[in-house]
Structure 1
Amino acid sequence: MKQSLAMLLALLLVLTLVLGAAAGRAGAGGSRAAFDAVAGPDTRTVQPAEKKSGRVTAPDRSPPAATAFAQLPPLPPGLAGSIRRVDTHGEKLVALTFDLCELADQVSGYDGAVVEALRAAGAKATFFAGGKWMRSHPRRAMELLADPLFEIGSHAWTHGNFGRLDSPAMAREIAWTQAEYALLRQEVARLAREKGVGEAEIAKIPAVPTLFRFPYGRCTAQALALLGNMGLCAVQWSLTSGDPDPASTPQRILDTVLARIRPGDIVIGHANGFGHGTAEALPQLLAALAKRGYRFVTVSELLAAGRPVAASDCYDSHPGDTARYDALFDDGTLHPRKKSGPRPEPRPATMPKEQ
């Protein structure tokens, strides 16, 4: 009898995790009640020191504390490939995305001013977080995954180059990030229950990320197939703010985005301390886009609103342009000949060619 009951409880747990993951695919967000349980007024205050980043002496390649997570079903054909934007049939929707990456020999920051600018405007956004970044910033990661304004996508464990990694290494980069998210979600659930938050509210938080962004914008056919089999959508971008460039300014970000924005665009920026001018530009950018009639949605909501425009390769403005990172980055560490600082990112060039 006890064995049968244990099996039934285990089955219910698996079913709950699968349904939660499926809800994430449909664009389910967080819970305001759960967010309030995690993000009190004292902990939400942004400290300037949090934005700072640096390089550590030895690479940290250790796995998460636990490696279990809810498995997703393979991707349906309509979501295969490298998704660059969405054809919304003219509806003025835009998905703002911000990367939170951290290499194995690096400690990245948290640009809370970016997050607070979004919250102040009530603007939805998607954060692509690395697993190691989430482990280094557990409190901030839990706030983001609980906040109903935002959704969390995966940005791999230590930002390894999927143009160079073998299949086992790629699988680890993906699986460990899913597992770290699952651990943090468990902690959010525990804190929420302590504050009296009901299970229905907690269930609104996706069990695992269903979106993935390839580090450096690099992939191969093998990487895309692996990701599809693991049930994660590969999300590229159609418009870059160019904020990793130290010469980037708030005005340049405004000029770049406002000159090129189109309905259905996926815009990339950074919130890990390497986004130069991003936080300062955001309030004006959000106001200007809203004035033009744009509505801010998560990537999952954007995908549900139209036809995904995907390519068979990952690139910035034209096929093959991100392959230049293969000579600099391989296994998720800064190149030994490079000084500590922000990794190169594709800069604004011509509008991307769609396939």
Structure 2
Amino acid sequence: MIAPVRRLRHVRRATAVCALGAALAACGSAGTSGPARPAHARPAASASPSASHPAVLTPGPGGLTPVFEHGPRDRGKTVALTFDADMTADQGPRAASGEHFDNPDLIGTLRTLKVPATVFMTGRWADQYPAQARSLGHDPQFEVANHSYSHYAFTSDCYGLPTVGAGRMRQDVERAYASLRKAGVPHPLPYFRFPGGCYDRQALRALSAVGVTAVQWDVVSGDAFATDADAVRRQVLDGVKPGSVVVMHCTRSAAPTTERVVRAVVPELRKQGYRFVKVSELIAETNGHR
């Protein structure tokens, strides 16, 4: 049974995710009938992460897919910037008409600033931009993880998103991995980010056989369709704590200020003593935290 305080906290986070923008097809209304939140999985003892052996969490109670939100708060000033490369299964015509769901300038800025990052990529995005997916997958500065194939919701009340039936959830995730590998990503990580951040026990159970760790966040950047880069910058800086996971977007048309936000946020956080790491490193720190 989920403790009421955890459930309420999930509702508040869902509402915050909504502020990211329903226009990313990841948002709508949230209420107390929203997805339940499981207790955190117990960290597993794990070696330092590598491309072939990344750190993961052990399954939760009953074998449920474990959920990771942030790293330890008392192991130094580390922070992970994560970027969702969103593209839904039915957005091909929009891409063909010239809409940009990628953001090469953002990736270039991360490279120039030498900021490691984790990209949660939909299979449809990898299908559309295979050269960029391959480049990210072969660059040791980045790690590529799974964000579903179609960016459809894994619960029935996820902000108006079309939904994936329980019987197709595993297939959707496995299809995304197939697209990532086909695009040339050699080692997509066993991490999964639910579209919209929406999940419940049924979704965690459906993915248990895939062997992924579900990765959420504790800092919402608010970059989706934002026009005020400085407001997004302040929101990130106000939210970051040691071990934080920041959610941002790698989608030019839907998050046009993100590259400018990164250019502003990175030097400020470094000035405050923060070190940028990938999600796999935060999970490894969590595994070693007793």
One-letter code aligned to 2:205 = A
Q: Give 2:20's aligned residue.
A: none
Q: Give 2:90's aligned residue.
A: 105
What is the CA–CA distance in structure 1 between the aligned matches of 2:192 and 2:233, rounded to whole Å? 26
What is the CA–CA distance in structure 2 between the aligned matches of 1:209 and 1:181, rounded to whole Å? 10
What is the aligned residue count? 224
- 2:124 corresponds to 1:142: no
Q: Shift of residue 307 of structure 1?
A: 5.2
User: Aligned runs of 1:1-355 on 2, under 5 Å?
Assistant: 27-29=49-51, 76-77=58-59, 80-106=65-91, 107=95, 109-164=101-156, 165-185=164-184, 205-206=186-187, 208-244=188-224, 246-273=225-252, 274-306=254-286
Q: Which runs of 5+ in 2 are unaligned?
A: 1-46, 157-163
One-letter code aligned to 1:183 = K
SS at match of 1:86: coil
How well do the aligned residues superpose, as a CA RMSD in angstroms?
2.6
What is the CA–CA distance in structure 2 between the aligned matches of 1:257 and 1:130, rounded to whole Å? 24
Q: Shift of residue 96 of structure 1?
A: 0.3
What is the CA–CA distance in structure 1 between the aligned matches of 2:75 and 2:189, rounded to whole Å? 28
SS at match of 1:87: coil
Q: Is the 8 A contact 1:29 1:147 kept in 2?
A: no
Q: Is the 8 A contact 1:29 1:149 kept in 2?
A: no
Q: TM-score, normalised by structure 2?
A: 0.71
What is the CA–CA distance in structure 2 between the aligned matches of 1:160 and 1:308, rounded to whole Å? 34
Identity across the alignment (%): 32
Q: Shift of residue 293 of structure 1?
A: 0.8
What is the CA–CA distance in structure 2 between the aligned matches of 1:249 and 1:157, rounded to whole Å? 30
One-letter code aligned to 2:58 = P
Q: Is the 8 A contact 1:100 1:130 kept in 2?
A: yes
One-letter code aligned to 1:96 = L
Deviation per CA, 1:228-257: give whole Å up to 9, x if none: 32111100110011011x344210111111
Deviation per CA, 1:189-225: give whole Å up to 9, x if none: xxxxxxxxxxxxxxxx52x321100001111101112
Q: Shift of residue 173 of structure 1?
A: 1.2
What is the CA–CA distance in structure 2 between the aligned matches of 1:177 and 1:247, rounded to whole Å? 28
SS at match of 1:85: coil
What is the CA–CA distance in structure 2 between the aligned matches of 1:241 and 1:217, rounded to whole Å? 14
Q: Is the 8 A contact 1:29 1:150 kept in 2?
A: no
SS at match of 2:71: strand
Q: TM-score, normalised by structure 1?
A: 0.59
